[in-house]
Chains A and B, each alone.
Chain A
Amino acid sequence: MIETSTPNKLSNLNKKDPSQKQAAVFHKMKRLKPLSIRKPSIAKKRPQIKNISQQFSHAETILSITDLCVYFSATKVLKNININFPKKGLVAIMGPSGCGKSTLIRAINRMHELDQSTNVTGKLMLGNQDITTLPAMAVRQRIGMVFQRPNPFPNMTIFQNVLSGYILTGMRLNKKQKNEIVIENLKKAFLWDEVKDRLHERGTFLSGGQQQRLCIARSLAMQVDVLLLDEPTSALDPIATTRIENLLQTLKKEIPIIMVTHNTAQASRISDYTAFLYLGELIEYNKTKIMFTVPSDKRTEAYLMGRFG
């Protein structure tokens, strides 16, 4: 608003009264005041919405989390998280190391059940279904997860890796179905052109970025409702990272994606919504554009400016 209106005002004033010109120049200078003085004015304009969850209608929500707490032994790592994830778009979860962002998405996928010292409370609704009452295996088949380190199954070929969800859970497919699933999902994961001639080689012979895309293809092949990504590019070089980001921007049109990242630039590039976690609390959750321009919380602003994290 200020940007567009001030020059007009200035030119209008010039015509009318030269004495007011000074005031206008002063007004202009005010905008150039050092950050420490400017800050309160931004603070005033901070939007009141700290959590956009309530603005998603029931129909727009794919995954709804209520009062989620995670304890590692006696330590409360996640403190009453309330967050709804939309059916369309990519949600980035960011925050400094140890803030619980990985813990949050691992809780969604029930990975904490592998560790007996971890305790999870709260309610998770996937669509209309309370998934906390379902067996973990059933939940994991509906919610795909891609990890920080590319982890294709080393004893399986590329072809088998894409089908691994079916192989592991003992689902039988005929040859035609297998071929269809493999081709379709490798194409979806932008990997088909690179591996079509060597489908029956081990997946571990691929480069890191290719392996990660193979892991994405493997999750997509299960026709999951939501795709979770836990810092999917942190082990990759910049070029592989760009390819994964491009892939995610295409994929988010088809499937809701929740991605953990410690890279704020990445969150701003590809996400539609961003959640900021700090010390186990959800500090702010809003549209990425709003959050990165006018964060509503001081801590978010400090984090985005790189003062910690």
Chain B
Amino acid sequence: MQVKDTFFRIILLIAACFAPVLIIGSLLTLSSGFIPAFNETGLSFFWSATWDPQTREFGGVVFLVGTIATSVLALILSFPFSIAISIFTGEIIHGTRLASIIANLVEIISAIPSVVIGLWAIFVFIPIMQQLQILIGAIPYGTGFLTATIVLAFMIIPFSATLGREVITLVPTHIKEAAYAMGATRFEVIRYVILPYARSGIIGGFLISTARAFGETMAVTMLIGNVNHLPTHILSPTNTMASIIANEFAEATDNVYYAALIGIGLLLLISSIVLSYLARRIIKHFIL
């Protein structure tokens, strides 16, 4: 028995260490791969906004800003829809056929390959955006920051909506009844009892959504315009960290260029780690 226990323990330990080791390993690999570019650019890689492989100027700020801005705006855009889906399917029509139909359809969004969403957006959404841009007198690129963000917002809805719905259905009936018995209306029960009770899960859902938006590559690459400049206004094309890697990795024949793209990967990994750390801090601050 003792031997079996020890054996089991070791297996679990190895399995549990796998993920942390992987993270540290990728950090090391990316860092070492980044060295040739770092030698060329120095620290300016982290604050320069110029990315020009021709003149061997590599600055990652455009992409960092692009990723953070698209993710944050997508999160803000998806928020009302996610929360509405969560409340509607998790509380208001909970248990009905319609609720499970809506919930399943929302979950299917996450199963659509992002390249398919990208294609749909190119053929359907971009023409709409172009019409809009013509209407307001802007240059009708179609692609651009706003286009990518709206599609991204749509893509991250299922993560927060599904988790939000789950935690809302988990709110105990006796707590809800207590609130109703005090004479609260349905809105008041949702506002003052259900949402506070489910808050941690709802925030968790939005964090998963943000993480997903951070790393989303294909659809964003197809829609953002891939111009290595900081966006001047909300419609202008720009670029993100994931997109620049996907777009230029195959063309990077030059050693330093290659290393600079690995450096962008490093930047993406580090910013994701910082994001999840901040997220955990925010959760602790809100919940405890």
Contacts and interface: CB of A to CB of B under 8 A. Distances in A.
Do they bind each other?
yes
Interface of A: 109, 111, 114, 137-141, 144-145, 147, 149, 151-155, 164-165, 167-170, 215, 218-219, 222
Interface string B168-184: 00001011011111111
B208 interface: no
A168 B189 contact: yes
Contacts of A169: 182-185, 188
B183 A141 contact: yes
Size category, B interface: 10 to 19
Contacts of A111: 177, 180-181
A137 B185 CA distance: 6
Contacts of A147: 174, 177-178, 181
Contact of A165 (B177, B182, B189, B197): B182
Contacts of B252: none
B193 A168 contact: yes
Nearest to B199: A155
Nearest to B176: A114
B203 to A, nearest CB: 14
A155 B174 contact: no
Given A153-B179, A155-B196, A168-B184, 15 more contacts: A111-B177, A137-B184, A140-B180, A140-B183, A149-B174, A151-B178, A153-B175, A155-B193, A168-B182, A168-B183, A168-B193, A169-B182, A169-B184, A215-B178, A219-B182
Contacts of A168: 179, 182-184, 188-189, 192-193
Contacts of B184: 137, 168-169
Nearest to A113: B180
A170 B188 contact: yes
Contacts of A165: 182-183
Interface in B140-188: 172, 174-175, 177-185, 188
Contacts of B179: 153, 164, 168
Nearest to A135: B185
Contacts of A109: 181
Nearest to B188: A168
A140 B178 contact: no
29 contacts: A111-B177, A111-B180, A137-B184, A137-B185, A140-B181, A140-B182, A145-B181, A147-B181, A151-B174, A151-B178, A152-B178, A153-B192, A155-B196, A155-B197, A155-B199, A164-B179, A164-B182, A165-B182, A167-B192, A168-B182, A168-B183, A168-B188, A168-B193, A169-B184, A170-B188, A215-B178, A218-B182, A219-B181, A219-B182
A147 B181 CA distance: 9
A222 B183 contact: yes
A89 to B, nearest CB: 22
Nearest to A168: B184
